[in-house]
Amino acid sequence: MDEKLRIMVVDDEKIVRESLYHWFRKAGHVVDMAASGFEALDKLDKTPFDVLFVDIKMPGMNGLELLAKTKEEYPDASVVIITAYGSIESAVQAMKAGASDYLLKPFKPDQMALVLEKVAIQRRQEDRYRYVKGLLDEVTRFDNIIGQAPVMQEIFDLIPEVAQSDSTVLITGETGTGKELVAKAIHAKSLRANGPFIAINCGAMQETLLESELFGHQKGAFTGAEQARKGFLEVVSGGTLFLDEIGEISPKMQIDLLRVIQEKKIIRIGEREPIDVDFRLISSTCRELDKAVQEGRFREDFFYRINVISLHVPPLRERKEDIPLLVQHFLNKYSQETTKQVNRVTDEAISFLKRYDWPGNVRELENAIERAVVLSKGRTLHLEDFSFLKPQKTRSAPPRTLREIQKDYIHEILIQESWNVTQAAKVLGINRVTLHKMIKRYNLQKPSDSN
C-alpha cells in the first residue's frame, strides 16, 4: 500500500469489524473500530480519520445517517459504505449523499484493494486542492492582516502606496480592529523596514512617564532618574514610531510632539542641547479626533500634522464576511500553540459568531477562539463552546426612556389580548382602572378607533 491511511471500521457485528480491522492492519494502515454510529462520531470528534468503512445496516444510527453527519461535520473524511446484495438502492443513495464508494458484501479481496486505491487517489487530490487553496488564502492575507471583505482589500491596496511616502499617518478605528497591524504593515513595506518599529500606548501611561519614555532624560533630571536614558524618539531613529491612542495625550504633550515633528529635533529632559531625530510617525485613535478639535479638546495644528494620510480600519461588524476566515486563522494558531487538534467550527457556531456584534472587534474574536480551543474537549467547536459571549443589544436602537418602554409594552400586551382591557390588566399585573388611565395618558388607540 502506497500510503498509510487512518481508517475507522464502523459495524455493529463484531466479526465483520474484526475481519476488516485485521485486514487493514495487515495492509499497513492505522485502524480503529466503532460498534455504532454514535461511537464513530465520538471518535471522529477526538481523532481525525482519512476514511470510514461503514455498514449501512446498524441499529440506532444507520450507515446513511452516519454518512450524512460525517459529511456535515467532518467533510475531510471519506466514507465507504458496506451494504448487502439486494440493497443497491441504498448504495446509490449513499453515493448521492457523498460516499466515496460502496462495497456489496461479500466482496472479492481485489475489490477492497481497488476501493482503497481510489480513496488514496481522492485523498491525494484533496491534499493538492488544500495546498492550492492555501496559496489562495495567502492572497486574502496581507502580512498578518486577514480579510477578503472589499473594505479590507481597499486597505491592502493603500498600505504599499502609503508606505512609499514618509508622511505621518493617522489610523482610526475601534479598539481591537488591528490598527497596530496596519501600522506594522506600512512599516514593513516602507524604506524604513530595516529600522526599528516601536509602539507606545499613550493611553496607558501618565504624562510624566510618557514624556520621559519619548524624550529620554539626563541623569538626575528628576527623582529616580539615576541613569541617563535615551527616549524612544531617539531609539527609533531610522524606523517608525507608532503612537497608539494618540487622542489621550495632554495638550502639553501635543505641543512638544508638534515641535518634534516640525523640527525633527528633541531635547532630553534635563538637557539643553537638541538632538536630531529621524523617524516616521504613525498614530492611531479610536476617538473622533476631528470632533475633539471642534470642541477645543485637541489641538488643530497637531491634528493636521499627524493626519497627513488617514486610514480607517472598519469594525468587525462591518465586515462579517471575514469572520469564517478569521476564525479559521485563529483556530490554526491556537491549535498549534496549545497542541490541541481543534480544527473545525460547526456551521451553527459560525452563524452565531457572524450574528454576534463583536464590540471588542478582532481582538475579542481572537480571545473567544483561544478560550474555546483551550476549554474544548473535542476536535470541533460547537455553539455551546461560545456560550460565554453575551447576547447583544441592538446597537442601532437609540436609548429609550422608561415612559417609552412602558407605553410600548402596554400597547404590545393590549394587541396580544385583542384589546380586552380586563385580560390585558391581568397580564400586566395592574388593575383595570389603572390600565384605562394609562391608555388615556399614553393616547393608545384601538386600530378600529383610529380609523
Chosen residue from 12, 16, 151, 168 binding other proteins by CB under 8 A: 16
Strands of the sheet containing 101-105, edge to edge, are 30-34, 6-10, 51-55, 78-84, 101-105
Q: Is 94 exposed, middle or buried (0-12, 13-18, 19+ CB in 10 A)?
A: buried
Contact in structure between 82 and 54 (CB atoms under 8 Å): yes
Which residues lie below 8 Å from residue 290, measured CB to CB, with a gap of 6+? 303
- CA distance linking residue 340 with residue 147, whole number of Å: 25
Report, in Å, the least distance between residue 349 CB and other proteins: 38
Candidates 42, 46, 60, 105: give the one binding other proteins (CB under 8 A): 105
Q: Which is nearer to other proteins, 29 or 379 (CB)?
A: 29
For residue 30, state whether it binds other proteins (rule: CB under 8 A). no
Size of the site for other proteins (CB under 8 A): 25
**Range 235-254, binding other proteins (CB under 8 A):** none
Which single residue is written with the C-alpha cell 395592574?
A: 430
Closest to other proteins by CB, 56 or 281: 56
| Of the residues 6, 12, 23, 57, which one makes contact with other proteins according to CB under 8 A | 23
Closest CB to other proteins among 26 and 46? 26
DSSP characters over 272-286: -S-EE---EEEEEES
Angle at 215 (CA atoms; ends 212, 219), nearest 5 degrees: 65
Of 221, 209, 321, 199, the C-alpha closest to 267 is 221
CA angle, corner 421, sides to 418 and 426, nearest 5?
Answer: 105
Of 108-167, binders to other proteins (CB under 8 A) are 108-110, 112-114
Q: Which of 6, 12, 27, 293 binds other proteins (CB under 8 A)?
A: 27
Closer residue to other proteins (CB): 20 or 381: 20
Q: Which of residues 54-83 bind other proteins (CB under 8 A)?
A: 82
For other proteins, which residue of 106, 296, 399, 429 counts as binding (CB under 8 A)? 106
CB of 111 to other proteins, least distance (A): 9
Binding residues vs other proteins (CB under 8 A): 1-2, 13, 15-16, 18-20, 22-23, 25-28, 82, 103, 105-110, 112-114
